[in-house]
């Protein structure tokens, strides 16, 4: 399965000896444009992270972020980097990022942490009466963990040739995506983008006005160059593991050398 690094480490703590993190899936090593953003509405009266912490002390702030996730890790690291205590009591959120984005857009929370492509879409999708949104932070200089590919160790032992073929297919797909023009990628991904941001709808069911707005927003989405899958760096693993342990998220001990499986090219 593909999941975030926090979830993979938590799973490994719950299933000792059974989980193998075999590779990164997508690793946002470059933050240009930003992969994450902390977004608020202009009318929120929030200007910086210190404002958030001050309002949290009064019980007047809610931050949309999936709990026990890489996004929560990054948000905690952001506060800590500025010498602030993460306002954990203010954290609420769904695993469904579209729900969190909707909460941010309609002011149901004070702010929220979102990854790409939700950041670009939320900032660029226009409609009458849309509130002005502000990016409080783009998480520059904050370590962003990779999403990872996880296998059950029994599968690795029994079906290693199939696993090798799986990674050859991924590398071919990465080469094809990176070698395609933006126009080709947008045409190929149009149906997927509509379903992502408007679940249950298709390009055919959008009325012309809505379709034009969606097309304009999608045109503004940054399409990154995809890195090939590779080993999870030990330093990043340890950062997330130590954080998750401190939060009480781990059911047991987790050791990098026992969890991360380094496969050949």
Q: Tell me, what's the pLDDT at 163?
A: 85
Q: Tell me, what's the pLDDT at 109?
A: 95
- Please state, for a pLDDT cut of 90, what percent of the chain lies above it: 59
**Do the Cβ atoms of 161 and 261 come closer than 8 Å?**
no
Residues 190-246 pLDDT 10s: 888 888 888 877 778 888 887 888 888 888 888 888 988 999 999 999 999 999 999
CA-to-CA distance for 8 and 222, rounded, in angstroms? 27
Residue 13 has pLDDT above 80, yes or no: yes
Residue 29 has pLDDT above 80, yes or no: no
- Which sign does the torsion angle of CA 39, 40, 46, 52 carry? negative
Largest pairwise CA distance in the chain: 57
Contacting residues for 79 by C-beta, under 8 A, at least 6 apart: 49, 53, 85, 86, 87
CATH architecture of structural domain 36-137: 3-Layer(aba) Sandwich (3.40)
Instruction: Estimate to the nearest angstrom the gap between the alpha carbon of 228 and the chain centroid.
Output: 18
Q: Where are the domains of the chain?
A: 2-27+146-259, 36-137
Residue 181 has pLDDT above 60, yes or no: yes
Residue 81 has pLDDT above 80, yes or no: yes
């Amino acid at each position: 399965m593909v999941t975030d690094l926090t979830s993979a480490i938590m799973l490994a703590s719950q299933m000792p000896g059974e989980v193998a993190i075999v590779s990164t899936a997508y690793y946002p090593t470059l933050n240009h444009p930003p992969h994450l953003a902390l977004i608020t509405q202009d009318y929120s009266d929030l200007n910086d992270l210190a404002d958030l912490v001050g309002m949290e002390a009064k019980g007047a702030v809610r931050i949309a972020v999936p709990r026990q996730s890489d996004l929560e890790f990054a948000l905690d690291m952001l506060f800590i980097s500025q010498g602030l205590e993460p306002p954990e009591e203010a954290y609420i959120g769904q695993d469904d990022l579209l729900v969190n984005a909707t909460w941010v857009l309609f002011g149901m929370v004070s702010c929220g942490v979102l990854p790409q492509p939700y950041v670009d879409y939320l900032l660029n999708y226009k409609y009458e009466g849309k509130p002005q949104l502000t990016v409080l932070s783009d998480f520059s200089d904050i370590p962003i963990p990779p999403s990872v590919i996880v296998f059950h160790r029994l599968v690795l032992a029994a079906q290693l040739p199939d696993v090798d073929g799986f990674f050859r297919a991924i590398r071919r797909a990465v080469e094809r995506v990176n070698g395609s023009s933006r126009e080709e990628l947008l045409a190929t991904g149009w149906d997927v983008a509509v379903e992502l941001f408007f679940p249950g709808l298709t390009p055919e069911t959008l009325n012309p006005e809505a379709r034009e707005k969606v097309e304009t927003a999608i045109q503004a989405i940054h399409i990154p160059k995809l890195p090939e899958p590779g080993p999870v760096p030990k330093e990043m693993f340890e950062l997330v593991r130590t954080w998750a342990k401190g939060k009480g998220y781990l059911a047991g001990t987790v050791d990098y050398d026992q969890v991360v499986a380094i496969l050949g090219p």
